[in-house]
Amino acid sequence: MKRLCALWCAAVVLAGLVTTVGTSPAHAATQAPGTGTGYWHATGSQLVDSTGAPVRMTGINWFGLETANYTFHGLWSRNYKDMVDQMAGLGYNTIRVPFSNQLFDPGSTPNSIDYNKNPDLQGLSGLQIMDKVIAYAGQKSMRVILDQHRPDSGSQSPLWYTSAYPESRWLSDWRMLAQRYKGNPTVIGADLHNEPHSIQGGTGACWGCGDTSRDWRLAAERGGNAILSANPGLLIIVEGFDCVSGTGSPECGWWGGNLSGAARYPVQLSEPDKLVYSAHEYATSVYHQTWFDDPSYPVNMPGLWDHFFGYLKKQNIAPVLLGEFGTTLQSTIDQTWLRELLKYMGTGPAGMNFTYWSWNPNSGDTGGILNDDWTTVNTVKQAYLSPYLIPPVRFSAADNGKDARLRFDDIAMAASR
């Protein structure tokens, strides 16, 4: 029975991927330009490439560099190029790469890598391993978002800094990365800090409070402008908050998931068309929020998403990236949630940008697109996502509307793993 299900689900995945990519020049044109050409910027709430063609991130999170392994997870099982090949073959066009500032310390040595499988990573630092993955992702026409996930490798931080890693270090590390990848549009964006949030009792971060030591909106302006001064091509990705008063009900959402404060207190950058707002959204496998018990569920969810982040796109204020969303899919509530959320974000280049959490199977409260063997695909999850994926294909004027879909046998090989 399991074998029959696996075969059926794989067929669904393949059908979705082929439908997404297109089978005719006309369809290819509606999906163009895939990952586009050059650096991206915003026109209202739409991202466009350097030629002005609409583009969209439909990507995946691959974590590990933010942990005490100081490298991408799974390299104890597989070669990194094989991983990236599989991501691209499944249709993901962007990789969000979490890291910690501790990664760049001299004593942060990568570990848990099988160097027989990854011989060209032997002796490299975590940053140099990042270089390798970015370079190969670029060869596959993928884009990369760098995500400052935490200051140290131990745990999440409500603020973008700690006593051990002060704001000055946060800024200098971002400048270093911006300069390192300047002129390389594979690295398309900088996600300034993962999941800023408040702490009960009135400490932690805030949005719009005016306290420069706590106001995440003001910090994002400082960080974003510092990056743009070093590399004006990058998108500046600013995550939401958790609790914002005075913006309507509910006041509180997921860490990083509440952008309602941006209506009154917007982020103002030196280059306004480089701003992308980002939210995180989860289901009951992470935490059972009250809205899942609403008698009208799931009809209530689009209004909730509008309140937290969707208004920014619908009112043409700025692009939105759903930087993390994921579930184990064990609950029927979660299954409905994922289906409705993807429908809400829409299809094609005009849809909302996203990077699914996660590629890794070792995310305890969501699992991953890969199964625990780090090789085979969770075909049930992939079947939900595949109709919404825009594969990593770069278009140029020379393509002249040609059908640039991935070859069916390549997709079949990747999806059947």
- The residues annotated as belonging to the active site are 195, 324
108 token code pair: 């942060």
Q: Collapse the DSSP code of 201 into the 3-class scheme (helix H, G, I; strand E, B; otherwise coil) and give the result.
A: coil
CB atoms within 10 A of CB 296: 9
Its sign, for the CA torsion 316, 317, 321, 322, is negative
Indicate the DSSP class of residue 377: B
Q: How far apart are the C-alpha atoms of 187 and 207, rounded to whole Å?
A: 28
Quote the Cα angle for 109-115-120, to 5°: 85
Give CA torsion, residues 285, 289, 294, 299, to 10 deg.
Answer: -70
Indicate the DSSP class of residue 346: -
Name residue, tokens 């270090």: 169
Q: How far apart are the C-alpha atoms of 407 and 46, rounded to whole Å?
A: 28
CB atoms within 10 A of CB 210: 10
Q: Collapse the DSSP code of 27 into the 3-class scheme (helix H, G, I; strand E, B; otherwise coil) and give the result.
A: helix
Q: How far apart are the C-alpha atoms of 414 and 97, rounded to whole Å?
A: 21
Please report, as a single letter, which amino acid is at residue 184: N
**Residue in 149, 129, 264 with CA at minimum distance from that of residue 208:** 264
Cα separation values, 113 from 75, 109, 122, 353, Å:
5, 11, 9, 32
Please say whether the beta carbons of 295 and 276 come within 8 A.
no
